[in-house]
Amino acid sequence: MPFPNIDPIAFAIGPFAVRWYALAYLAGVGLGVLYGMSLLKRHSLWKDNKPPFAPGDLIDFAFWAVLGIILGGRIGYVLFYNFQYYMANPMEIPALWDGGMSFHGGLIGIMVAIIFYTRYKGGNPLSGLDLVGAVGTIGLFLGRVANFINGELFGAPTDLPWGVIFPNGGDVPRHPSQLYEAALEGIVLFLVIRYVTHVAYGLRRPGLVAGIFGIGYSLSRILVEFVRLPDAQIGYLYGGWLTMGQVLSLPTLIAGIALVIYAMRRSNGR
């Protein structure tokens, strides 16, 4: 399949260009806030009918969420994916417009932000993490679609009928690994968590939804990494198959399992 002719720049006003990737971040935060507010308004979903904070507070938290994602994502990319380069060129660390963000770094950033914000509001930090886990799949979906539009993070060559010939991937069809992740981390994980929150009342067990998010994301990322090409400056870490994304997903997977076990043992959900 030929790569769809989609301009990575959504629109431009004079020299100022707005990319789909930036819009995906903004839309992810905006839609996440709207969905999160709907969850916070449903007191019956939460343990003891007490959400971590009021729905209106989520608008205030949005600023800290964006800050945590951007700072964490950038710092994570510098440390995990291109440390030597940025140590030799430290002035380029703030150059976000040149690309380079780490999901795992952004995850740490928003986790720190929600824990401190929830404590400040007098809520349960684990319930705050659950809220982030419930809405985070929206941003993941939009972000991976934006990766596809940018023609980046594509996969290895394939002869499958849905292989895509990317502009920067040579003249061979490749796995659209961005869309695989959008489907697994975005759509499938959203539906799983939606079932847990609204049918199984998982938000009544603080930490459960956050744990399921960690497990679901990690398994999806590890699986897709088998067909997604690693960053060129790192390559495979071992045996022509182990990637940095898989290594970084292992602690997230372990933390997710630990949260689920803790939540199930700590509360009976009533």
pLDDT computed for residue 136 by the predictor: 94
CA distance 86 to 88: 5
Asked if 113 and 60 count as a contact pair (C-beta separation under 8 A), the reply is: no
Longest CA–CA span in the chain (Å) reads 58
H-type helices in 55-169, by residue range? 57-80, 83-88, 103-120, 125-150
Whether 2 is in a domain gets the answer no
Query: Tell me, what DSSP letter sits at residue 167?
Result: T
Which one-letter amino acid corresponds to residue 89? Answer: N
pLDDT computed for residue 267 by the predictor: 64
Q: Establish whether 204 is an annotated binding residue.
A: no
Whether 229 is in a domain gets the answer yes
pLDDT computed for residue 233 by the predictor: 80
CA distance 52 to 55: 9
pLDDT tens across the length of the chain (270 residues):
788 878 888 888 888 888 888 888 889 889 999 999 999 999 999 999 999 999 999 999 988 988 998 899 899 888 888 888 888 888 888 877 666 788 888 899 999 999 999 999 999 999 999 999 999 999 999 999 999 998 888 999 999 999 999 998 889 999 999 999 999 999 999 999 999 999 999 999 999 999 999 999 999 999 999 999 988 788 889 888 899 899 999 999 999 999 999 999 986 544
Q: Is the dihedral angle over the CA atoms 262, 270, 192, 143 positive or is it negative? A: negative
Whether 83 is in a domain gets the answer yes
Q: Is 33 helix (H, G, I), strand (E, B) or coil?
A: helix
Whether 3 is in a domain gets the answer no
Which one-letter amino acid corresponds to residue 140? Answer: L
Domain of 110? 9-266
Whether 1 is in a domain gets the answer no
Asked if 213 and 220 count as a contact pair (C-beta separation under 8 A), the reply is: no
Whether 131 is in a domain gets the answer yes
Q: 220: exposed, middle or buried (C-beta count within 10 Å: 0-12, 13-18, 19+)?
A: buried
Say how many domains are in the chain.
1
Question: Tokens standing for 265?
Answer: 């043992």
Whether 4 is in a domain gets the answer no
Q: Is 17 helix (H, G, I), strand (E, B) or coil?
A: strand
Q: What is the pTM of this model?
A: 0.90
Query: Tell me, what DSSP letter sits at residue 92?
Result: G
Q: Is 19 helix (H, G, I), strand (E, B) or coil?
A: strand
Query: Tell me, what DSSP letter sits at residue 164?
Result: B
Asked if 2 and 166 count as a contact pair (C-beta separation under 8 A), the reply is: no
